[in-house]
């Protein structure tokens, strides 16, 4: 099946803007001074008629890292900016959780020219948060 990626450029621009909006420009140590390290293990899957893709990896965040927890959807044409773990992580830090895991479904559409079809992108995450010793 042949698809023309006519809308890709416009979509990329929109995605870039959405990603920019996910940036905070604030470092972890400024917002969460008690956090020593955050490790995000992520497993992403996406299946469409073009085939399926799978990716996993670990993202290590240190006090000097930016408060930015956006993981891109594996679907190249997806209309969403990706999976934003910011609210999950910030509420975990507020309740001083050290281990958490969960899943997220992509909220985007399969492609800009397929608005009726929601994206199949999926994220499974395991997050470990270490805190500094209180003085
Ligand atoms: Zn997606």
pLDDT in tens, 59-80: 999 999 999 999 999 998 899 9
Name the least confident of 6-10, 38-42, 104-108, 116-120.
6-10
pLDDT at 88 over 90: yes
Q: Determine how many CB atoms are found less than 10 A away from the CB of residue 124.
A: 14
Distance from Cα 56 to the centre of ligand 1, integer Å: 16
Distance from Cα 45 to the centre of ligand 1, integer Å: 10
Query: Who contacts 42 (Cβ-Cβ below 8 Å, separation ≥6)?
Result: 56, 57, 58, 59, 71, 123, 124, 125
Distance from Cα 21 to the centre of ligand 1, integer Å: 17
Distance from Cα 126 to the centre of ligand 1, integer Å: 19
**What ranges do the domains of the chain cover?**
8-131
pLDDT at 126 over 70: yes
Q: For the residues 10-18, what does the mean pLDDT come to?
A: 85
Query: What pLDDT is recorded for position 5?
Result: 55
Between 16 and 115, residue with greater pLDDT: 16
CA distance to 61, 69, 96, 135, per residue, from 131 (Å):
12, 18, 8, 12
pTM above 0.85, yes or no: yes
Distance from Cα 131 to the centre of ligand 1, integer Å: 32
pLDDT in tens, 99-124: 999 999 999 999 888 888 999 999 99
Give Dmax over CA atoms of the chain in angstroms. Answer: 62
């Amino acid at each position: 099946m042949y698809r023309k990626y006519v809308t890709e450029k416009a979509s990329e621009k929109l995605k870039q803007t959405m990603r920019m909006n996910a940036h905070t420009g604030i470092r972890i140590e400024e917002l969460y001074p008690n956090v020593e390290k955050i490790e995000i293990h992520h497993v992403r899957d996406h299946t469409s008629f073009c085939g399926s893709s799978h990716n996993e990896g670990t993202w290590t965040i240190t006090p000097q890292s930016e408060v930015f927890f956006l993981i891109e959807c594996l679907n190249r044409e997806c209309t969403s900016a990706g999976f934003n773990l910011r609210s999950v992580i910030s509420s975990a830090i507020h309740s001083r959780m050290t281990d958490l895991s969960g899943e997220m479904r992509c909220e985007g559409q399969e492609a800009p020219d397929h608005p009726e079809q929601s994206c199949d992108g999926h994220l499974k995450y395991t997050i470990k948060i270490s805190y500094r010793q209180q003085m």
